[in-house]
Structure 1
Amino acid sequence: MTSIAREAIPVAARHDIYPEIDPEEHFKGQTYRGKVVIITGASRGIGEQMALMYAQAGAHVVIASRKQETLDSVRKRILELVPTAEVLTVPTDVAIVEQVETLVAAAITRYGRLDVVIANAGTTPEFKDLLGDEDPFACWGVIETNLRGTYNTARFSLSHLAKTKGSFVAITSGAASMRFPTMSSYGISKFAINRLVEFIHLEYPDVLTFALHPGVVDTEMGRKQSAYAMDDSPQLPAATTIYLTSGKADYLSGRYIAADWDLGEIYRDWKEKITKEDALVNRLTVPT
Structure 2
Amino acid sequence: MGPHRATLIVNLNSNMPQDPPSETLPVTRVNNVYPFIAPEKHFTEQTYKSKVVFITGGSAGIGLEIATFYARAGAAVVVTARRQQVLDDARAAILKAVPGADVLAISVDVVQTEQVEAAVKATLDRFGKIDICIANAAMVDRWDRPFLKEDPNKWWKAVEVNIRGNFNAAYYTLAHLTKTKGYFITITSEAAQVRIPIGSSYLVSKHALGRFVELAALENPEVKVMAVHPGGIKTEGAMTNPEFEPYLTDSVELPAATLLYLTSGKADWLNGRFVSSNWDLEEVERDWKDKIVEEQALVSRLHVPS
TM bucket, shorter chain: over 0.9
Q: After superposition, where does 1:9-48 map in structure 2 within 5 Å?
A: 9-48=25-64
2:248 is aligned, of 230, 239, 246, to 230
* Residues 123-158 of structure 1 deviation map (CA, whole Å, 9 limit, x = unaligned): 111111101111101100110000100000000000
1:154 aligns with 2:170: yes
1:78-117 equivalent positions in 2, closer than 5 A? 78-117=94-133
Q: Distance in 2 between matches of 1:238 and 1:9?
A: 25
Matched residues in 2 for 1:234 and 1:126: separation? 22
Q: Any gaps of 5 or more consecutive residues in structure 1?
A: none
8 A Cα contact 1:165 1:208, kept in partner: yes
The answer to whether 1:141 aligns with 2:157 is yes
Name the CA distance, whole Å, in 2 between partners of 1:268 and 1:250: 14
Partner residue in 2 for 1:259: 277
Q: Quote how far apart the aligned CAs of 1:9 are.
A: 4.8
Alignment check: 8 A CA contact 1:9 1:261 kept: no
Q: Verify the 8 A CA contact 1:198 1:255 in the aligned structure 2.
A: yes
Aligned to 1:192: 208
Aligned residues: 285
Unpaired runs of at least 5, structure 2:
1-16
1:204 maps to 2:220? yes
Match of 2:79, SS state, is strand
Give the letter for the 2:215 counterpart: F
Does the alignment pair 1:164 with 2:180?
A: yes
- Measured against aligned partners, the alpha-carbon deviations of 1:198-234 in whole angstroms (never above 9, x if no partner) come to 0111011111111001110010111124346101011
Scaled by the length of structure 1, what TM-score is found? 0.96
Matched to 2:97, the amino acid is: L
The amino acid that maps onto 1:107 is T
User: 1:64 maps to what in 2?
Assistant: 80
Q: CA deviation at 1:287?
A: 4.5
Matched to 2:68, the amino acid is L
Structure 1 outlier segments of 4+, above 4 Å? 4-9
* SS of aligned partner of 2:26: coil
| 2:106 aligned counterpart, secondary structure | strand
Picking from 226, 230, 239, the partner of 1:214 is: 230
Q: Distance in 1 between matches of 2:53 and 2:302?
A: 35
1:178 to 194, 203, 221: 194
Structure 1 residue 281 and structure 2 residue 282: aligned? no
CA distance in 1, matches of 2:180, 2:141: 37
Q: CA deviation at 1:10?
A: 2.7
2:264 paired residue number: 246
% identity of equivalent residues = 48
Stretch moving more, 75-84 or 224-233: 224-233
Over 3 Å counting, the alpha-carbon distance change for 1:143 and 1:47 in structure 2 is same
Give the secondary-structure state (helix, strand or coil) at the position aligned to 2:29.
coil
CA distance in 2, matches of 1:267, 1:99: 39
- 2:288 alignment counterpart: 270
Report the CA distance between 1:78 and its aligned residue: 1.0
**In the aligned structure 1, how far is the partner of 2:263 from the partner of 2:86?**
26
**Equivalent AA in structure 2 for residue 38 of structure 1:** F
**Equivalents in 2 of 1:106, 1:76: separation in Å?**
20
- 1:75 alignment partner, SS class: helix
The 2-side partners of 1:136 and 1:191 are apart by 19
